[in-house]
Amino acid sequence: MEITANNPNLKSWIEVPKNSDFPIQNIPFGIFKTNQLTPRVGSRIGDFVIDLQSLSVLGYFENLPFELSDFATNSLNPMMAKGKKGTRELRNRISKLLDANLTDLQKNEHHVQQVLIPVDQVEMLMPVQIGDYTDFYSSREHATNVGMMFRDPANALLPNWLWIPVGYHGRSSSVILSGQAIHRPKGQIKPDPNADPIYAPCRNLDFELETAFITYEGKPLGDSITTEEAEDFIFGKVLFNDWSARDIQTWEYVPLGPFLAKNFASSISPWIVTLDALQPFKVQGPTQVPEVLSYLKYEGQKSYDIALEVLIQPEGQKETVVSKSNFKYMYWNMAQQLAHHTVNGCNVRCGDMMGSGTISGPTEDSYGSMLELAWKGTKPLKMKDGSERKFIQDHDTVIMRGYCEQNGVRVGFGEVSTKVLPAK
Ligand code: MN
Contact partners, residue 201, CB within 8 Å, separation at least 6: 184, 185, 186, 422, 423
Whether pTM > 0.85 for this model: the answer is: yes
Whether 141 and 86 map to the same domain: the answer is: no
Whether 392 and 314 map to the same domain: the answer is: yes
Catalytic residue among 110, 111, 142, 340: 142
Q: Give the 3-state secondary structure of residue 339.
A: helix
Q: Give the 3-state secondary structure of residue 195.
A: coil
Could you report how far apart the first and last alpha carbons of the chain are, in Å? 52
Q: What is the C-alpha to C-alpha distance for residues 285 and 268, in angstroms, rounded to an integer? A: 25
Is 208 a residue whose pLDDT tops 90? Answer: yes
Whether 62 and 164 map to the same domain: the answer is: no
Q: What one-letter code names the amino acid at 234?
A: I
Task: Please state whether beta strands 205-206 and 244-245 pair in parallel, antiparallel, or not at all (unpaired).
Answer: antiparallel
Whether 121 and 146 map to the same domain: the answer is: no
Task: Return the closest-CA partner of residue 76 out of 231, 271, 230.
Answer: 271
Q: What is the C-alpha to C-alpha distance for residues 49 and 330, in angstroms, rounded to an integer? A: 32
For residue 198, count other CB atoms closer than 10 A to its CB.
11
| Boundaries of domain holding 138 | 133-421
The CA 14 to ligand 1 mean position distance, Å, reads 38
Give the CATH number for residue 17: 2.30.30.230
The CA 210 to ligand 1 mean position distance, Å, reads 7
Is 1 a residue whose pLDDT tops 90? Answer: no
Q: What is the C-alpha to C-alpha distance for residues 276 and 86, in angstroms, rounded to an integer? A: 12
Q: What is the C-alpha to C-alpha distance for residues 416 and 269, in angstroms, rounded to an integer? A: 4
Residue 263's pLDDT band (boundaries 50, 70, 90)?
very high
Whether 147 and 116 map to the same domain: the answer is: no
DSSP H/E element including 342 = helix 334-342
Contact partners, residue 226, CB within 8 Å, separation at least 6: 295, 339
Q: What is the pLDDT of residues 129-183, one digit of tens each?
A: 999 999 999 999 999 999 999 888 999 999 999 999 999 999 999 999 999 999 9
Last residue of a domain, one of 93, 125, 157: 125
Residue 243's pLDDT band (boundaries 50, 70, 90)?
very high
Last residue of a domain, one of 125, 141, 159: 125
The CA 212 to ligand 1 mean position distance, Å, reads 10
DSSP symbols for 226-294: -TTTGGGGEEEEEEEE--EEHHHHHHH-TTT--STTTTT-EEE-S-BEETTTTGGGEE-----SSPPPG
CA distances from 173 to 17, 80, 126, 129, 234 (A): 36, 20, 12, 10, 21
Q: What is the pLDDT of residues 48-78, one digit of tens each?
A: 999 999 999 999 999 999 999 999 999 999 9
Whether 117 and 196 map to the same domain: the answer is: no
Q: 272 pairs with which residues across the strands?
A: 29
The number of folded domains in the chain is 2
The CA 356 to ligand 1 mean position distance, Å, reads 7
Q: What is the C-alpha to C-alpha distance for residues 257 and 246, in angstroms, rounded to an integer? A: 13
The CA 273 to ligand 1 mean position distance, Å, reads 20
The CA 208 to ligand 1 mean position distance, Å, reads 6
Whether 286 and 345 map to the same domain: the answer is: yes
Is 237 a residue whose pLDDT tops 90? Answer: yes
Q: Give the 3-state secondary structure of residue 384.
A: coil
Whether 202 and 256 map to the same domain: the answer is: yes
The CA 73 to ligand 1 mean position distance, Å, reads 30
Q: What is the C-alpha to C-alpha distance for residues 223 and 293, in angstroms, rounded to an integer? A: 18
Whether 193 and 162 map to the same domain: the answer is: yes
Give the CATH number for residue 190: 3.90.850.10
Q: Which parts of 39-108 fold into alpha helices (H)?
A: 52-57, 68-71, 77-80, 83-98
Q: 418 pairs with which residues across the strands?
A: 398
Question: Any catalytic annotation for residue 111?
Answer: no
Whether 315 and 375 map to the same domain: the answer is: yes
Last residue of a domain, one of 99, 125, 151: 125
Is 217 a residue whose pLDDT tops 90? Answer: yes
Whether 115 and 210 map to the same domain: the answer is: no
The CA 175 to ligand 1 mean position distance, Å, reads 12
Q: What is the C-alpha to C-alpha distance for residues 248 and 199, in angstroms, rounded to an integer? A: 10
Q: What is the C-alpha to C-alpha distance for residues 45 and 18, in angstroms, rounded to an integer? A: 12
Whether 295 and 174 map to the same domain: the answer is: yes
Residue 280's pLDDT band (boundaries 50, 70, 90)?
very high
